[in-house]
Chain A
Amino acid sequence: MSFIPAPISRFFHRTASPPHFYTLADKLLPWLTVLFLLLLIPGLYGGLVMAPADYQQGDSYRIIYIHVPAAWMSLFIYVLMAVMGGIALVWRMKLAEVMLISSAPIGAGFTLVALVTGSLWGKPMWGTWWVWDARLTSELILLFLYLGVTSLYGAIEDKRSAARAVSILALVGVVNIPIIHYSVEWWNTLHQGPTVSKMDKPSIHISMLIPLLLMAGAFKVYYAIAVLQAAKLELIKREPSAQWVKNLLEQNA
């Protein structure tokens, strides 16, 4: 595309070439793993041990250190998938397609974790495993959107067509997510309001916030690790007879 300077576009095309990406991912993975542990261990320790118990909910609130980052990730990954879809459709970049496809099951996993932890949290809070509150319902619909992406990709045999199809679907979904979110919000406003995103006056204590942000960081890095692994595999599956894959196999043999 003409509105992007040539050196930048060249850089992206070089980075996005499968063999280059593969080696880059291999180099990044150990560092990401270290970073993940550096965020996860203090995050868990801070959240489960150091942070004080909630004066209303006692210790059961501590599930937010899993629930909230997972819910954030579920939305974040879907938006990222739509961005990848846009790139794949406009610039026909194979790597973007691969990243989109590799992200979908991970995003669905985070959504499921958010749903299950939300339900576990709901038991002591509301006395039942499931309440039709706005956020859990939105999360459930988001899970269906993820499942739509994965099953559509699985159903179309030609993988290039399949990648285009899920790119379109991800873009359509991302336009709909705010509409779904607000319609569900309007439908039912039972849940406690958003607690963290109010930047001017955080209603959460700082000793609870820091572990929460650490956990959010850890989840993001975990996603990066998982998606790189999945993308590596997907790249090989797509071009099993490409020269770079053969070279790779010889190296490892």
Chain B
Amino acid sequence: MPLIQAFFAIVRRDLLLAFRRRAEMANPLFFFVLVVTLFPLAVGAQPNLLRAMAPGVIWVSALLAALLSLDGLFRSDFEDGSLEQLLLSPHPLSVLVLGKVFAHWLVTGLPLLLVAPLLALFMGLPEQAMPTLWLSLILATPLLSLIGAIGVALTVGLRRGGMILSLLVLPLYVPVLIFASGAVDRAAGGLPTGAQINILAAMLLLALVLTPLPTAAALKMSVN
């Protein structure tokens, strides 16, 4: 299947690019850890308060880290003309876009899973909440990339798109934030989290199907 070949060619190319620019790719990860570190400094090192805030703090930081990393999704392709070549490919753009988002998630979303235990430790999150934190990160970080891709595609042609990007994307992140941090919060309290996890999974499936279409349309608009 040429389409599947094209999909994996994009994933492979973007992973290779990320590897060649690996210094840049670690930045969102450092940012994530740094933002979480700021909270104890700002509100004081009170274990009870920090424990209560932990799910929210971790998830808001994950959201901001995702937002920060989004800019690289289409920027370099837009600037060096690769995006035009993608548009001219006989394959459906939405599938190619999905390949790009998938590679982007592998590079920026997945590493968040690795540092999550460290942050949970910083914030005093109970151990029993760790599996839920991981699960929510696995389900919700791809959602952040998929939804964010629409915003990036809309603003990639702008010289100063960063501020507008956050204005466009953060409101759309609200449901993800609510259910993901809600799940972790409940798990920390020893409550069942099935409903939140299921909703996150449903949103992920929905986003996988729906978001590549507006992203592709927005990219066509931006290349104009």
- Check B167 against A147 for contact (C-beta < 8 Å): yes
Taking CB as reference atom, which chain A residue is nearest B153?
A: A168
- Check B221 against A176 for contact (C-beta < 8 Å): no
How close is A141's CB to chain B, nearest CB, in angstroms? Answer: 5
How close is B128's CB to chain A, nearest CB, in angstroms? Answer: 22
CA distance A171 to B150 in the complex (A): 11
- Check A152 against B168 for contact (C-beta < 8 Å): yes
Q: Is the C-beta of A242 less than 8 angstroms from some C-beta in chain B?
A: no
Interface 9-residue window, one of A104-112, A117-125, A154-162: A154-162
CA distance A164 to B216 in the complex (A): 12
CA distance A160 to B164 in the complex (A): 19
Interface 9-residue window, one of A29-37, A181-189, A216-224: A181-189
The listed residue (A89, A144, A151, A152) touching B217 by CB distance below 8 A is A89
Taking CB as reference atom, which chain B residue is nearest A186?
A: B178
How close is A151's CB to chain B, nearest CB, in angstroms? Answer: 6
- Fill in one digit per residue for B202-224: 1 if any A CB lies within 8 Å of its CB, else 0: 01000000100010011001101
Q: Is the C-beta of A165 less than 8 angstroms from some C-beta in chain B?
A: yes
| B 15-30 contacts with A by CB, 8 A | none
CA distance A171 to B171 in the complex (A): 14
Binding site for A on B (CB under 8 A): 150, 154-155, 157-158, 160-161, 164, 167-168, 170-172, 174-175, 178-179, 182, 203, 210, 214, 217-218, 221-222, 224
- Check A156 against B158 for contact (C-beta < 8 Å): yes
Please report the number of residue pairs spanning A and B whose Cβ atoms sit closer than 8 angstroms: 71
- Fill in one digit per residue for A131-170: 1 if any B CB lies within 8 Å of its CB, else 0: 0000000000100110110011001101011001100110
How close is B164's CB to chain A, nearest CB, in angstroms? Answer: 5
If the complex has contacts A156-B157, A175-B210, are A148 and B178 also in contact, measured as CB distance less than 8 A? no
**Which residues does chain A contribute within 8 Å of B154, judged by CB atoms?**
152, 165, 168-169
Tally of chain A residues near chain B (CB < 8 A): 28
- Check A165 against B218 for contact (C-beta < 8 Å): yes
CA distance A148 to B173 in the complex (A): 14
**Which residues does chain A contribute within 8 Å of B221, judged by CB atoms?**
161, 164-165, 168
User: Top 8 closest A-B pairs, CB basis?
Assistant: A183-B175, A144-B171, A164-B221, A148-B168, A183-B178, A187-B178, A148-B167, A161-B224
CA distance A158 to B161 in the complex (A): 15
Binding site for B on A (CB under 8 A): 89, 141, 144-145, 147-148, 151-152, 155-156, 158, 160-161, 164-165, 168-169, 171-173, 175-176, 179-180, 183-184, 186-187
- Check B167 against A179 for contact (C-beta < 8 Å): no
If the complex has contacts A155-B161, A156-B157, are A187 and B182 also in contact, measured as CB distance less than 8 A? yes
In the complex, 29 of the A-B residue pairs with CB atoms within 8 angstroms, ordered by the A residue number, are A141-B174, A144-B167, A144-B170, A147-B167, A148-B164, A148-B167, A155-B155, A155-B158, A155-B164, A158-B224, A160-B224, A161-B157, A164-B217, A165-B154, A165-B218, A165-B222, A168-B218, A168-B221, A169-B150, A169-B168, A173-B172, A176-B171, A179-B175, A179-B203, A180-B171, A180-B172, A183-B178, A186-B178, A187-B182
**Which residues does chain B contribute within 8 Å of A161, judged by CB atoms?**
157, 221-222, 224
How close is B219's CB to chain A, nearest CB, in angstroms? Answer: 10
- Check B167 against A151 for contact (C-beta < 8 Å): yes
Taking CB as reference atom, which chain A residue is nearest B157?
A: A156
